Chains A and B, each alone.
Chain A
Amino acid sequence: MINEMFEIRRGGDGSSFWQTERKSIVFVCIMLLIFAFDAVALRSIDPSLLTNYNDDGEMYGDWTVTYTMNEATSTDSKELEQNGVLETSMEWSLNPGEYLSSVTLVVMCSDEDEPGEGFSDEVTADTELAGVNGNVEEREETGACLENTEDDVVLSWTFADVSLADNQTYEASSVSSVEDLFVNGTTGDGVWAAEIRLDVVTPGGIGALDSGEQITATWIVQTFTIELNDYS
C-alpha cells in the first residue's frame, strides 16, 4: 500500500482530482513538454552549426592527428679550384595547410687526389637567408673533404616537430589549438641560398697531385600536412 500522505488523491473529500493534484500534474506536463522540446530541438539542429563549434566558430573535438610527409630536393654541382665558389639556392613556398619540418643543406666533396689522411681539402658553406620568411639563423660551417665520406658539411634547420603528429591524440581540443602545436612550421619558405667555397689544402712538394674537387650541394626541404580525425 502507498503511504496515505503520499498517495494520489482522487478527490473523495469533495475536492476534485484536479484541485488536489494540480501541482503534480502541471509539473509532470511541463517536464514532458521540456522532454519533447529538447528532443525535437536537438534532433533538428544542423550538426555543422551546433557540434564542435564554439561561439567563435572554432571547432572542438577529440582528435587523432596523422601526417603526410613531403620532401623536395634541389642539387647544384660544380668542380671548384682553389677558392672557387659554388652559389646554390632553392626557392619554394608553403602551401596552405603545409608545415615546414626541416631544411637541410648537404655539401659533398671527395678529395681523392691527396696522398693520405690528414691532407684533405676543406669546403666552407656560408648561408644567405635574407630571403627566407621568418627569423632563421644564418650559419657558416667548414668541413674536410674526406675520402669516401658522403656528407662533408651538413647544415640543418628544424621547424615544426612532426612527432607531435605521429598518431598522437589530442582530447577536448580546438582545431586551432592542435594546429598551434605546429606553428613553428608556418615560416621558413622563401629563398634559401648559400655559397660553397673550396679551400685546396696542398702539402709541400706534391701540389701537382691536387687539382680541385667536384662539389655537390643538395637542399632537402621536408614539409608535412596534418589530418585531424575526430574520434569522439
Chain B
Amino acid sequence: MTNRSFLATFLIGLFLAAIIHIGILLFAPRLSVSDAWETLALPLEEFVAIPARPMMPTDFADDPSVDAELEEDIVTIVPMQDLDPQFSHTICRFHLRTGPVHLRSEGLDAFWTLNLFSAGGISFFSTNEQVNAGKPMNVLVTTPQQVASLRANNSASLDNLQVVETDTEDAAMLFRAYKQHEKPLPAELEKLQSIITCAPFQQS
C-alpha cells in the first residue's frame, strides 16, 4: 500500500469516526435510560415529595433503580449520584398542564438550595437561601401564559412568591437542606418531607 492510499484510508476512518462521535452525542440525551429524569423523576408519582439520599455501597451504581426496588418495603428513598451526605434531599416531580405549581418549605431552619430540572436532568432554575435573603422556599413555577392570566385576575396572590417562568411542562425539583445536627437519615428525611410542599397552586 502506498503512503498515499494509507493516508486516504486513515482520513476516511477519521471522517467516519467523527460522524459516529457526533451521532452518539446528539442522540445520547434522547436515548439515555440512565439520566436523572428517566431513572429518578419519571418513576415518581407527581406532586409527592420523596426523600433522596446519596449512593450507598449496596447501590448498584450502573442501575440505581434496582436499589430503589430493593428498598421499597422499608421506605421510599431515592438513591442519587453526587448528593452531599451532609445535606438532606427531597425530590418531587410535577407538571404544569393543569396550572402553576407551588413549591414551599416551612419551619426549616437551615441553609437550603433548590434546583429545578427537566427531561435529561437539565437545570432550568436554581437558587439558595442566601439569594432569597434567608427566607424559606416559596416558589411558583408557571408557564408565561399561566402567570399572565394570574396577574390579570388577582395579582395579590403572587405577593411574596418567587415566580419562575418556564415553557417546560414536565419538570422536577431537587431541594437540598443542610443537616444542622447529625441525625440518622430516615428521621431527617421524613421530617424534611413533612415540611416540603410540592402541589398545584391554590389561589388565595
Task: Tell whether A pairs with B.
Answer: no
- Please list the residues of chain A having a beta carbon within 8 angstroms of any beta carbon in chain B: none
